[in-house]
A and B are shown apart, each in its own frame.
Chain A
Amino acid sequence: MSYVDAGYAIALSTVFVYAISLLVRRRRWDRALTVKESTPDEGAAAAERP
């Protein structure tokens, strides 16, 4: 594989992977926010403190 091909491949895949990871993170936090909003009890999500 030539340097040029490698360069294009790395550049495109990095941007692509990062973009996907951002979309995944956005969905995950959005879901977390939905869960939090629908839970009336504030202490529901907190773990037990030592």
Chain B
Amino acid sequence: MTTTAPPPNDLVATLPAVPRLRPRRPRWLDVVGILGVIGLAFTVWLGLWVTPPDKFQGNLARLLYIHPAVATVALYWVGIVAAGGSLLYLWPRTRSLFWDRLAASAVEVGAVFAALTLVTGSLWGRPVWGVWWTWDARLTSTALLLLLEIGYLALRRVPADTAVRARRCAVAALLIAVDIPIVHFSVDWWNTLHQGGTFIDPGFQIHASASMSWTFLLGFVAFSLVFVWLLGVRYQVEVLQDAVGDEELEVSLAERWSEDTELIGAGTSARPPSGPTESGGAS
């Protein structure tokens, strides 16, 4: 008479409920998103039609309702969240995967905004300076920031245990945060030494009327709200990915393995062939 352990399914049924894997979907996030969209719509309407052309720059000044706002998001908001999140993750007392995921989300959204900063900056710079690109400190550091962010995102895709990945990426993010000011400073110095004086930017003369100032501010607010919403949704994606994650990882690793051996069809041989006498020679 043998007593057998209960079959696994029954055992699973008696376990307490598994903690929720799904991220919360807070209502305030959707509200922020909607406000952001409305803000953007108003910014566009005011920026393109209602505000008058600038005394010095003419219609070109309209891009200033977009470009500085986008740049602020890409450089400052992203920097604060990514660096702050990374610090908070590394600090033992506040360590939580929440900060790691938040930082990673900020970096991805930041890369999009950095690219946008470069594009809107070039579009503004082309008629003003006559060239699409100039190696000044602002543009160059933003370009380098974009490259570093791409590197971070590539690093994040390397399969690893969640905690290991979090630590690795947190350090990477902090190194980026330290590096960008250094780059900005050196490029600035590089330029001013070459020019033999301070770099007078001919583009930044602007005579701001009241409506222009308000639109400017609205642009900032709108893009900041949009940033928060994008950050929130990207964070939710990150949580979901990790929740599904472990199994997906095994699947994709197995897929990648099978791609290598697809042509061979059979399993790999443990022992290498012994030489020219091997019968499996090429046709």
Interface residues of A, Cβ cutoff 8 Å to B: 2-8, 10-12, 14-15, 18-19, 22-23, 25-26, 29-30, 32-33, 36-37, 40, 42, 45-50
Contacts and interface: CB of A to CB of B under 8 A. Distances in A.
Contact of A7 (B22, B109, B123, B237): B123
21 contacts: A2-B59, A3-B63, A4-B62, A7-B124, A8-B62, A10-B116, A12-B44, A14-B112, A15-B226, A15-B230, A18-B109, A22-B230, A22-B237, A26-B233, A36-B247, A45-B247, A45-B248, A49-B254, A49-B257, A50-B254, A50-B261
Contact of A50 (B230, B244, B267): B267
Instruction: Name the residue among A10, A12, A26 with the largest chain B CB count within 10 angstroms.
Output: A26
A7 B66 contact: yes
Given A3-B126, A18-B112, A50-B257, A11 B60 contact: no
A4 B243 CA distance: 43
Contacts of A47: 251, 254-255, 258
B149 to A, nearest CB: 14
Given A3-B127, A8-B44, A8-B48, A33 B257 contact: no
A17 to B, nearest CB: 9
Contacts, number: 106
Contact of A36 (B60, B119, B244): B244
B94 interface: no
B247 A29 contact: no
Interface in B24-58: 40, 44, 47-48
B250 interface: yes
Interface residues of B, number: 47
A40 to B, nearest CB: 7
Interface string B85-99: 000000000000000
B134 interface: no
A40 B201 CA distance: 65
Contacts of B244: 29, 32-33, 36
Given A22-B230, A29-B244, A46-B247, 10 more contacts: A3-B124, A4-B60, A5-B48, A7-B67, A8-B48, A8-B62, A11-B120, A19-B230, A30-B240, A36-B247
Interface in B1-24: 9, 12, 21-22
A7 B240 CA distance: 34
